[in-house]
């Protein structure tokens, strides 16, 4: 199964990407910041996605830290 995570602090961007991906049958989960996403992945609350769309201007946890974790 194809799973995509969208990590972006913009609600509009997250919704546009989610709707677009779901229209073509891709499971999508979104997060407001990198810290929230990392916690969900590490605690097993969300399966590890096959692809991550990651905003480079994230609050709380920079894209560099999120990417390297």
Please state the pTM of the whole predicted model.
0.80
Q: How many Å apart are CA 30 and CA 33, to the nearest integer?
A: 9
DSSP structural state of residue 47: P
Residue 10 pLDDT class (50, 70, 90 cuts): very high
pLDDT at 22: 94
User: What proportions of the chain, in percent to the nearest 5, are helix, strand and coil?
Assistant: 40, 20, 40
Torsion 19-24-25-31 (CA) sign: negative
What confidence tens digit (pLDDT) does each residue in 26-57 have? 999 999 887 888 888 888 888 889 999 988 87
Ranges of beta strands (E only) in 1-69 are 3-7, 27-31, 51-54
Q: Which domains does the chain have, with CATH numbers?
A: 3-68 (3.40.50.2300)
66, 7 Cβ separation under 8 angstroms: yes
């Amino acid at each position: 199964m194809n799973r995509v995570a969208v990590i972006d602090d913009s609600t509009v961007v997250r919704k546009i990407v989610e709707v677009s991906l779901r229209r073509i049958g891709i499971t999508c989960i979104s997060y407001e910041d990198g810290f929230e996403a990392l916690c969900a992945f590490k605690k097993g609350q969300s399966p590890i996605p096959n692809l991550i769309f990651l905003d480079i201007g994230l609050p709380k946890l920079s894209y560099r830290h999120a990417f390297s974790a």
